Amino acid sequence: MRAARLFAYDKPLKIVDVDTPRVKKSAEVLVRITGAGVCHTDLHIVEGVWDEKVRPTLPYTLGHENAGVVQEIGEGVTAVKEGDRVILHPVVTDGFCRPCRIGEDMHCENLVFPGITADGGFAEYLVTSERSLVKIHDLKPEDVAPLADAGLTAIRAVKKAASRTTSGSHVVVQGVGGLGHIALQLLRCMTNTVVTALDVSESKLRLAEKMGAHHVVDARKDPVAQVMALTQKRGADIVIDLVGNDQTLANGMKMLHKGGSLVIVGYGGTLNLRAIDMIFAEMSVLGSLVGNWDELRELIELTRQGKIRVITKKGKLDEVNDFLQQLKKGILEGRGVVIP
């Protein structure tokens, strides 16, 4: 089968022929991938950012936002059957460690992350585990693939915001890209907060308005002052930082009201955090990492209810490098999806 693989850091992926993977274990499932989202993390992988964290062996196939159709199942599989449309939870977990047993799949003590630590979904087929599948029923894989990571990361961050706010609280979202446009929709259907979106691109601010932001702020023009003005000098209760560079992290802290939380999702930058600032106003800084199986199920439910819609730009597997370039330049609206 054909697959888009990383042979060297800072180089384009190569589309090459590899062996089609096969079901070997009782609980495994072979999925024909018919939608795979292109993510900022793919860019970061190509740049070598993840090398220190996971030390993958090159070459390997990227792609961690996958959806498709069940092609073949292991003999012990009961949760899905051939022909089912499914979305793939981004990690493969053991199911037996305590994090798995309490539902926190991402903290599995033995996880594999296809597309990051192993071969991923920029390919015609992918073998995964029964535990990693959520049925999508009548939804189309290529329409929902980005929910597997962009959407899942957004819902977990939004739930952190939801549990720390009340009706009328103010939530700021920094960055209206693949994650941001979903986060805005989720904030609108999962909370009754006031939502302000920040971005440096005029067209993304227009997108933010369409996705439900009550206010939009051009982040090129003193965004801290603008948020303070919008909140009558009070500051926001929550800032969700989907960008994560030095500037957005520092600004995020400055925008917060007493008792507020900065939810970090985007990465690359560093935050200089003074202890006295953290205690004086009892602030929290919360890292957020993808989400668990039930959050992916919830996201599919909300999509079926018509409350969430992913903006996608579709292309062939060969276009994956084009998508990566557009992402780097910040000119991709919504999410790029390749259809292998």
By the rule CB under 8 A, 78 interacts with a copy of itself: yes
Distance CA 193, CA 52 (A): 38
By the rule CB under 8 A, 330 interacts with a copy of itself: no
For the chain, the farthest-separated pair of C-alpha atoms sits apart, in whole angstroms, at: 61
Strands lying side by side in the sheet with 14-17: 14-17, 2-6, 60-61
The correct pick among 118, 228, 250, 286 for binding a copy of itself (CB under 8 A) is: 286
Distance CA 153, CA 288 (A): 7
Distance CA 5, CA 12 (A): 9
By the rule CB under 8 A, 20 interacts with a copy of itself: no
By the rule CB under 8 A, 137 interacts with a copy of itself: no
The nearer residue to a copy of itself, 58 or 273, going by C-beta atoms, is: 273
The correct pick among 24, 55, 221, 274 for binding a copy of itself (CB under 8 A) is: 274
The correct pick among 45, 176, 302, 324 for binding a copy of itself (CB under 8 A) is: 302
Of 229, 235, 267, 233, the closest CA to residue 253 belongs to 235
CB of 1 to a copy of itself, least distance (A): 26
**Residue 285, helix vs strand vs coil:** strand
By the rule CB under 8 A, 265 interacts with a copy of itself: yes
CB of 136 to a copy of itself, least distance (A): 14
Q: Which stretch binds a copy of itself (CB under 8 A): 118-126, 139-147, 196-204, 301-309?
A: 301-309
The correct pick among 26, 203, 247, 325 for binding a copy of itself (CB under 8 A) is: 26
Q: How many residues does the chain have?
A: 340
Q: Who contacts 287 (Cβ-Cβ below 8 Å, separation ≥6)? A: 264
Q: Which stretch binds a copy of itself (CB under 8 A): 4-12, 55-63, 176-184, 189-197?
A: 189-197
CB of 322 to a copy of itself, least distance (A): 26
CB 172 within 8 Å of CB 237: no
Of 56, 54, 39, 242, the closest CA to residue 149 belongs to 39
By the rule CB under 8 A, 94 interacts with a copy of itself: yes
The nearer residue to a copy of itself, 1 or 285, going by C-beta atoms, is: 285
CB of 134 to a copy of itself, least distance (A): 10
60-61 and 66-73 as β-strands: parallel, antiparallel, unpaired?
Answer: unpaired
The nearer residue to a copy of itself, 195 or 205, going by C-beta atoms, is: 195
By the rule CB under 8 A, 215 interacts with a copy of itself: no
CB of 319 to a copy of itself, least distance (A): 28
The correct pick among 60, 122, 125, 293 for binding a copy of itself (CB under 8 A) is: 293
How many other C-beta atoms are found inside a 10 Å radius of the C-beta of residue 207? 22
By the rule CB under 8 A, 99 interacts with a copy of itself: yes
The correct pick among 65, 130, 237, 319 for binding a copy of itself (CB under 8 A) is: 130
**Residue 5, helix vs strand vs coil:** strand
* Vertex 296: Cα angle to 294 and 301 (nearest 5): 95
CB 197 within 8 Å of CB 216: yes
Distance CA 57, CA 335 (A): 27
By the rule CB under 8 A, 65 interacts with a copy of itself: no
By the rule CB under 8 A, 247 interacts with a copy of itself: no
**Residue 151, helix vs strand vs coil:** helix
By the rule CB under 8 A, 278 interacts with a copy of itself: yes
* Vertex 284: Cα angle to 267 and 200 (nearest 5): 40
Of 216, 172, 181, the closest CA to residue 311 belongs to 181
| Residues found near a copy of itself in the complex (CB under 8 A) | 25-27, 49, 53, 75-76, 78-79, 94-96, 98-99, 101-104, 106-107, 130-131, 166-168, 189-190, 192, 241, 244, 249, 258-259, 264-289, 292-294, 297-298, 301-302, 305, 307
